[in-house]
C-alpha cells in the first residue's frame, strides 16, 4: 500500500507500508524517522521522561470520576508501568488474533483467556518457560497480552538494537508453542487470582451480570474470565482434558489468516519488511473462516431488558445506569454516530442533563457513551450507557433523575437537521484538530491500536476509523438516537440500601441483585416524554482553535527552564520549548526566528500547544486531618463548579486539572492545550478560584461524596496500605483520620478555611511550549492580582519531613479487612514488604534503577510463575519526598496462603535475588546497565513528558533539570559488586536494613491468630469530640494564618486519634525520628 493512500495526522512524520504475507497475515510496517536510536544518541540538552523507574509517592485529591482513590491514581501500577514510561522511542510490535472469549467452548469457560497466558510460556525454538520475558527484560522491554470477546492481542517493546531478534522470538510463540500441561496448571492459578482481584470491581461485576442475563445461545452468555472451578475442577469432574482442548483451540483458531500485525521502529521499512517475512511467514494458515457474530442472536430482547435491576455494589454510594442494547455499528465507522451522541448526552455545560441534576443536588457525575472494548462494541451488538452517580437526595428522587435524562434524549431526538449538521461539523473540527496536532503516542499502545483497527477497517482508514467524524448521515444518527427510547432501556440501580431486597446472586462474582418490573407510574409517564425548558442543545463552542501560528520567542533559547521573574509572591519558571515547537536540530538565532513565518516552518513543527503549571503553596492542609479534608473538599466543590463553566473549553481539546499537591503542601493548577485559546481558559479558572463562594447545598452534597470516597479506600487493600505507609512515614494523614474529621466538619469552618487559605501563599509557576515570556509574566501578574494574597512567612513555608524507620529491624503490621469495614467479605489479601534507604543521592537513585532493571522479571517469575502467590506480584522502587525505598508486593487470597507463609515466601525471594545478583555474569550485568543507560538517554516523546519532568523538579524543590545526564555519568562508575553490597546492606538485613511489612488480610474460612486488637470506636469518637471542643476548631479561624498554625501542639494530637485497627500504626509512628528535608540533588 502506498503511504499516500493512508490518512494520517498532519504532524505524523512516520512512514507506513501495508503488506500481506504469503500465509495471509496482514501487516502494517511503521518507520519513525524522527526517533533517534537511544543506543547511539549523542545526548544533549534533551532528557527522557523517565526521571527514574521509582514510584513517586503522592497525595492527590479524590477523583470522583474514577474508581481509583486520590493519592494513588497517578501511581496505580501494573507490573509494566515503569517500563511503558521507558518505551517512548523503543521498537514495538503487536499481533492481534481474531478470536476471543466469544469462542470459548461451553464446557470450559475462560479457555481463550487461559491460552493467552500459556502460549507465552515456551516454544520449540525457545523452550524456556520465562525465556522471552527474561530476554526482553534484559534489553529494557516487556511483553503482555489481553483477551477480548472477539480478539486476543499480544504485544512487546524492546530496544531497537534487539528488535530483529525479538521479532524472531515473538513469531516463535505462534509457530510452535509447547503448551505444557504443568505450565498450564500453574497458570490456572494466575488466571484465578486475576479473577479474584477483579471481584471487588463494580464495573466488572455489572458486566458479568449482563452476561448472565443474556439469552441462552447468545455468545455473550458466558463467563469470560475463567477460574479454578471452570478450568480445573469442573472439567476434571466431567473427564475433560483441558490441555488437549487448549491445544485444539490453538490449532483451530490461531491461524495466520486471522492475524494482523503492526510494528514500529526507527529502522527503514525495507529492512523491517525483510525481518517480518523471514520470521512470521511460517505461521500456519488453516484458512479458518473469519469469525463474525453479526448473525448470532442479540443478547437481549428489547422489551426484556426494560426492567429495574437493583444491585448491591462493593463501593459506597449510589449509581444508576441506563443501558440500551443497539445493533452492531462497526460498519458505520465513517459516520461514527456514537461519538457524536455521547458528546451530546454527556454534555456538562449549561442546558445539559448533568447541569440540571447538579442544580437540584441529585448527582455528582454523569457519563455517557461506549467504552469501545470488545464487551461493549463488537460484531454482535453495541451498548450505550448513561451512568449517573447519585447523591443521597438523588437516591430519594431516582425516578426524577432518570426522567431528566430521558427528557434530554427526547430533546436530541427533536433536533432539526440544521442543528444536527451544525453540531456534527463542530465535533468534526474538534476531532480533526485533536487528531492532526496530537502528540506522539507511546509505541506499544500505538501498535496495539493499529493491529486491532487493521482487523476491522479498510487499510486507508486504520488510523482514523472511530476517531474522526467523516461522513454526516442523518438517517444513521437519528436511527441510533431513536433507539435510545425509555421503553428500550434497562435501569441498573446500584445501592447498598438494596441488600434486604436483593434475593438473587450472580454465580461468578456473587453479586446480589433483584429484578422487578418498571413501576406503572414510570411507564405511563415515559410513553410520552416531554422535553424540558431547562434543557437545550450545546451552543456554538467559542474555544475551538483556529490559529495555529508558532509564536516567535522573545527571549534567547535556554537548555533548561530558567527563572523569568521572582518576588515575594511568586517565582516564574519559563521554557520556550526548543524541541517540540521548532525545527529539528540546532535552535535558530533569535533574530531569524523573529523574521520567520509559520508558512516556512509548518512542515517541521510537531505540536503547537502550551502548558501553564502553578503550585499554590500553603502549609494549612499539612497541619491537621481537618485542614487536609477542608482542602480536598474545597477542590472537589470548585471542580464541580468549573466543570460546567469550562466544559466548552475541555470539549474543544483544552485541558485542566485542579488538585492537592504532593504532601498536602497546597494546590496545583495545570492548564494545557492549543495556545490560541488557552489564555481564555486560564483566566476563567483563576477568576473562579478567586471568587469562589461556598453554598450550603453544594457543601453537603460534596461532603457526603468525599466521605464515601474515603470509606471506599478502606475496602481497597493497595490504596489503604499505601496511605498507611505514607502516614507512618509522616507524609500524609491516614484516611481513617480523615473519615473522623469529615464527620465533624461544618459549613462555618469550611468557609473560614477557604478565606484563610488565600490570605498567605507562595506560587511557583512553569510556562512551557508555544507561549512567550511576555505572556507568561502577564499570566502570573494576573493571577497575583485576582487572588490578592499576601506573601507567605518563611517560618511556615510548607516542607515535608519523612520519618525514619528503626535500623536493623523489621516492623510488621496486619489489618484484617473486616476490622476496617465489617461489611467487607473479600478474600483478597495484599502484602507489601517495604525497605527504606534514606535520603536520596544520584548514586542511590542509580542503585534503585539497577535493581528494578535486573530483578523485576526475576521477582515476578519467582513469586507468580514458580510459587503461584498471586496474579499481581513484583517489586517497585519509591521516592517519598526525597527518601528512597524499595518494596516487594503480592496480591493473593486469604484461603490460599496464611500471612506468615506469604511473607516468608517474599523473604525467601529477597534472599534468592541476592544470590542471583552475585551469580550474574559480567556480560549480563553489562547488558542490564547498557539497557538502563539507553533508557536514560532517550529523548522525551512529547511536550507533555518534558513538562511533567520539569514540573516534578519544581514541585520537589530539587530543580535538577539535567538529572538524567548526571545519573548517566554516575551509572558509568557502578560495578556489580557495588550493587550486591548495597542490596545486602539495605534489603538483605545489612547494617542499613529498615523494613516495614504491611498486610491487608482478606477473609477466609480459617481466621488467623495474628490479629491486631481493634480500638473501641465510641471512645475514639468521644476523644475526637473532646479534641475539637478543646481547640474550638470552628471558631479558631479568625483573621490570620499564623493564628491557625499556632494551634500546632493541639492539632498534632489528631495523629494518635484514629479509628479501627490503624491506631497501633500511628502510635508506632509517634516514636520515629524525622529525617531532614530531603532533595535528590547531590
**Three-class DSSP category at 883:** strand
- How far from 156 is each of 84, 120, 563, CA to CA, in Å? 10, 12, 41
CB 26 within 8 A of CB 458: no
CB 327 within 8 A of CB 381: yes
Grid look-up 506573601 returns 791
Beta strands 259-265 and 26-31, pairing class: parallel
**Three-class DSSP category at 1078:** coil
In 989-1071, alpha helices (H): 1017-1031, 1033-1036, 1041-1045, 1048-1051, 1063-1070
The DSSP H or E segment spanning 878 is strand 873-880
- How far from 833 is each of 96, 721, 780, 892, CA to CA, in Å? 37, 11, 44, 14
Cα gap 84→86, rounded to integer Å:
5
3-state secondary structure 725-791: HHHHCCCCCCHHHHHHHHHCCCHHHHHHHHHHHCCECEEEEEEEECCCHHHHHHHHHHHHHHHCCEC
> Closest Cα to residue 855, out of 878, 887, 891?
887
Burial class of 1035 by CB neighbour count within 10 A (0 to 12, 13 to 18, 19+): exposed
Q: Which residues neighbour 577 within 8 Å (Cβ) at sequence distance 6 or greater?
A: 768, 769, 770, 943, 946
Please give the grid coordinates belonging to residue 242: 483441558
> Closest Cα to residue 962, out of 997, 937, 989?
937
Cα gap 816→1010, rounded to integer Å:
10
- CA gyration radius, the chain: 29
**Three-class DSSP category at 284:** coil
- How far from 662 is each of 616, 619, 709, 797, CA to CA, in Å? 12, 12, 19, 14
Q: Which residues neighbour 180 within 8 Å (Cβ) at sequence distance 6 or greater?
A: 118, 121, 122, 129
CB 811 within 8 A of CB 979: no
The torsion angle over the Cα atoms of residues 1021, 1024, 1028 and 1030, rounded to 10 degrees, is 110
DSSP 12-67: ---EEEEEE-TTS-EEEEEE-TTSPPTTT----S---S-S-SSEE-------TTSS
- DSSP strand E in 608-661: where? 609-617, 655-660
**Three-class DSSP category at 92:** strand
In 382-533, alpha helices (H): 392-396, 398-413, 417-436, 443-456, 474-483, 520-526
Burial class of 763 by CB neighbour count within 10 A (0 to 12, 13 to 18, 19+): buried
- How far from 11 is each of 8, 448, 606, CA to CA, in Å? 8, 20, 6
CB 767 within 8 A of CB 779: yes
* Dihedral sign of CA atoms 326, 327, 330, 333 in order: negative
Of 69, 116, 187, 702, the active-site residue reads 116
**Active-site residue flag, 116:** yes
- DSSP conformation class of 1075: P
Residues recognised as catalytic? 116
Amino acid at each position: 500500500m502506498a503511504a499516500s493512500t493512508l490518512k494520517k495526522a498532519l504532524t505524523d512524520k512516520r512512514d507506513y507500508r501495508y503488506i500481506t504475507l504469503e500465509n495471509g497475515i496482514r501487516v502494517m510496517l511503521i518507520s519513525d524517522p524522527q526517533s533517534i536510536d537511544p543506543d547511539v544518541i549523542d545526548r544533549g540538552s534533551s532528557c527522557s521522561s523517565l526521571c527514574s523507574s521509582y514510584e513517586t509517592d503522592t497525595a492527590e485529591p479524590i477523583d470522583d470520576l474514577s474508581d481509583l482513590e486520590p493519592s494513588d491514581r497517578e501511581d496505580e501500577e501494573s507490573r509494566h508501568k515503569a517500563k511503558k514510561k521507558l518505551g517512548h522511542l523503543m521498537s514495538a510490535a503487536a499481533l492481534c488474533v481474531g478470536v476471543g472469549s466469544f469462542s470459548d467452548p461451553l464446557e470450559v469457560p475462560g479457555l481463550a483467556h487461559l491460552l493467552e497466558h500459556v502460549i507465552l510460556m515456551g516454544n520449540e525454538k525457545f523452550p524456556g518457560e520465562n525465556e522471552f520475558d527474561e530476554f526482553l527484560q534484559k534489553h529494557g522491554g516487556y511483553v503482555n497480552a489481553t483477551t477480548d470477546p472477539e480478539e486476543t492481542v499480544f504485544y512487546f517493546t524492546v530496544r531497537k538494537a534487539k528488535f530483529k531478534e525479538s521479532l524472531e522470538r515473538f513469531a516463535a510463540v505462534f509457530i510452535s508453542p509447547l503448551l505444557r500441561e504443568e505450565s498450564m496448571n500453574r497458570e490456572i492459578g494466575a488466571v484465578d487470582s486475576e479473577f479474584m482481584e477483579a471481584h471487588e470491581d463494580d464495573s466488572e461485576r455489572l458486566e458479568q451480570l449482563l452476561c448472565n442475563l443474556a439469552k441462552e445461545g447468545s455468545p455473550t452468555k458466558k463467563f469470560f474470565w475463567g477460574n479454578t472451578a471452570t478450568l480445573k475442577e469442573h472439567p476434571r469432574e466431567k473427564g475433560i482434558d483441558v490441555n488437549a482442548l487448549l491445544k485444539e483451540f490453538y490449532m483451530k483458531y490461531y491461524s495466520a489468516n486471522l492475524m494482523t500485525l503492526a510494528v514500529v521502529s526507527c529502522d527503514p521499512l525495507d529492512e523491517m519488511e525483510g525481518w517480518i517475512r523471514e520470521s512470521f511467514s511460517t505461521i500456519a494458515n488453516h484458512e479458518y473462516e473469519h469469525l463474525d457474530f453479526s448473525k448470532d442472536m442479540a443478547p437481549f430482547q428489547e422489551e426484556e431488558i426494560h426492567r429495574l435491576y437493583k444491585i448491591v455494589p462493593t463501593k459506597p454510594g449510589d449509581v444508576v445506569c441506563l443501558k440500551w442494547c443497539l445493533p452492531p455499528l462497526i460498519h458505520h465507522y465513517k459516520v461514527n454516530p456514537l461519538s457524536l451522541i455521547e458528546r451530546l448526552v454527556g454534555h456538562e455545560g449549561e442546558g445539559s442533563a448533568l447541569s440540571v441534576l447538579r442544580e437540584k443536588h441529585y448527582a455528582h457525575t454523569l457519563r455517557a457513551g461506549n467504552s469501545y472494548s470488545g464487551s461493549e462494541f463488537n460484531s454482535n451488538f453495541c451498548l450505550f450507557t448513561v451512568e449517573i452517580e447519585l447523591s443521597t437526595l438523588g437516591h430519594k428522587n431516582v425516578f426524577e433523575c432518570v426522567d431528566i435524562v430521558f427528557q434530554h434524549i427526547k430533546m436530541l431526538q427533536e433536533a432539526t437537521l440544521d442543528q444536527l449538521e451544525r453540531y456534527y461539523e463542530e465535533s468534526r473540527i474538534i476531532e480533526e484538530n485533536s487528531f492532526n496536532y496530537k502528540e506522539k503516542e507511546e509505541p506499544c499502545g500505538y501498535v496495539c491500536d493499529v493491529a486491532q483497527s487493521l482487523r476491522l477497517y479498510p487499510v486507508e482508514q486504520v488510523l482514523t476509523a472511530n476517531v474522526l467524524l467523516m461522513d454526516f448521515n442523518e438517517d444513521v444518527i437519528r436511527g441510533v438516537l431513536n433507539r435510545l427510547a425509555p421503553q428500550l432501556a434497562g435501569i441498573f440501580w446500584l445501592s447498598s440500601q438494596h441488600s434486604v431486597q436483593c434475593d438473587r446472586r450472580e454465580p461468578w462474582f456473587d453479586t446480589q441483585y433483584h429484578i422487578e418490573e418498571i413501576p406503572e407510574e414510570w411507564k405511563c409517564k415515559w410513553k410520552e416524554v416531554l422535553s424540558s425548558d431547562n434543557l437545550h442543545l450545546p451552543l456554538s463552542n467559542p474555544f475551538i482553535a483556529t490559529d495555529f501560528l508558532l509564536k516567535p520567542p522573545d527571549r534567547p533559547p535556554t537548555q533548561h527552564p530558567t527563572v523569568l521573574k521572582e518576588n515575594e509572591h511568586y517565582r516564574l519558571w519559563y521554557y520556550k520549548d526548543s524541541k517540540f515547537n521548532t525545527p529539528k536540530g540546532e535552535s535558530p538565532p533569535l533574530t531569524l526566528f523573529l523574521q520567520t513565518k509559520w508558512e516556512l516552518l509548518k512542515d517541521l513543527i510537531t505540536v503547537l500547544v502550551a502548558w501553564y503549571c502553578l503550585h499554590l503553596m500553603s502549609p494549612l492542609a499539612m497541619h491537621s486531618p481537618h485542614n487536609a479534608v477542608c482542602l480536598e473538599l474545597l477542590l472537589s466543590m470548585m471542580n464541580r463548579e468549573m466543570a460546567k463553566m469550562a466544559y466548552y473549553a475541555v470539549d474543544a481539546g483544552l485541558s485542566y486539572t485542579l488538585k492537592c499537591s504532593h504532601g498536602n503542601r497546597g494546590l496545583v493548577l495545570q492548564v494545557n492545550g492549543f495556545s490560541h485559546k488557552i489564555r481564555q481558559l486560564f483566566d476563567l479558572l483563576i477568576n473562579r478560584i478567586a471568587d469562589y463562594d461556598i453554598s450550603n447545598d453544594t457543601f453537603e452534597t460534596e461532603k457526603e461524596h468525599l466521605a464515601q470516597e474515603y470509606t471506599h479506600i478502606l475496602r481497597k487493600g493497595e490504596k489503604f496500605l499505601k496511605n498507611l505507609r505514607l502516614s507512618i512515614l509522616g507524609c500524609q494523614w491516614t484516611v481513617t483520620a480523615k473519615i473522623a474529621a469529615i464527620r465533624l466538619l461544618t459549613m462555618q469552618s469550611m468557609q473560614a478555611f477557604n478565606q484563610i487559605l488565600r490570605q498567605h501563599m507562595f506560587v511557583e509557576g512553569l510556562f512551557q511550549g508555544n507561549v512567550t515570556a511576555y505572556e507568561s509574566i502577564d499570566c502570573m501578574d494576573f493571577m497575583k492580582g485576582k487572588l490578592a494574597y499576601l506573601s507567605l512567612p518563611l517560618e511556615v513555608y510548607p516542607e515535608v519531613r519523612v520519618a525514619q524507620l528503626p535500623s536493623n529491624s523489621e516492623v510488621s503490621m496486619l489489618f484484617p479487612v473486616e476490622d476496617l469495614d465489617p461489611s467487607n467479605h473479600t478474600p483478597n489479601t495484599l502484602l507489601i514488604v517495604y525497605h527504606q534507604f534514606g535520603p536520596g543521592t544520584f548514586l542511590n537513585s542509580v542503585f534503585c534503577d539497577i535493581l528494578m532493571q535486573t530483578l523485576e522479571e526475576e521477582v515476578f517469575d519467582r513469586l507468580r510463575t514458580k510459587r503461584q502467590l498471586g496474579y499481581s506480584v513484583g517489586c517497585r522502587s519509591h521516592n517519598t519526598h526525597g527518601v528512597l525505598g524499595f518494596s516487594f508486593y503480592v496480591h493473593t487470597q486469604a484461603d490460599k496462603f496464611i500471612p506468615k507463609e506469604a511473607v516468608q515466601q517474599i523473604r525467601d525471594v529477597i534472599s534468592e535475588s541476592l544470590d542471583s545478583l552475585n551469580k550474574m555474569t559480567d556480560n549480563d550485568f553489562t547488558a542490564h546497565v547498557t539497557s538502563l543507560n539507553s533508557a536514560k538517554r532517550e529523548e522525551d516523546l512529547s511536550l507533555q513528558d518534558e513538562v511533567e519532568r520539569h514540573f516534578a523538579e519544581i514541585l520537589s524543590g530539587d530543580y535538577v533539570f539535567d538529572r538524567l545526564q548526571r545519573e548517566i555519568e554516575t551509572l558509568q562508575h557502578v560495578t556489580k559488586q557495588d550493587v550486591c553490597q548495597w542490596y545486602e546492606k539495605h534489603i538483605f538485613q545489612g547494617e542499613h536494613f529498615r523494613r516495614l511489612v504491611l498486610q491487608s488480610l482478606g477473609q477466609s474460612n480459617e481466621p488467623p491468630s495474628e490479629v491486631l486488637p481493634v480500638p473501641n470506636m465510641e471512645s475514639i469518637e468521644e476523644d475526637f469530640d473532646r479534641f475539637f471542643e478543646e481547640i474550638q476548631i470552628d471558631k479558631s479561624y479568625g483573621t490570620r494564618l499564623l493564628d491557625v498554625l499556632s494551634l500546632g501542639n493541639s492539632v498534632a494530637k489528631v495523629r494518635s486519634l484514629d479509628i479501627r485497627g490503624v491506631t497501633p500504626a500511628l502510635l508506632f509512628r509517634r516514636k520515629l525520628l524525622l529525617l531532614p528535608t530531603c532533595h535528590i540533588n547531590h
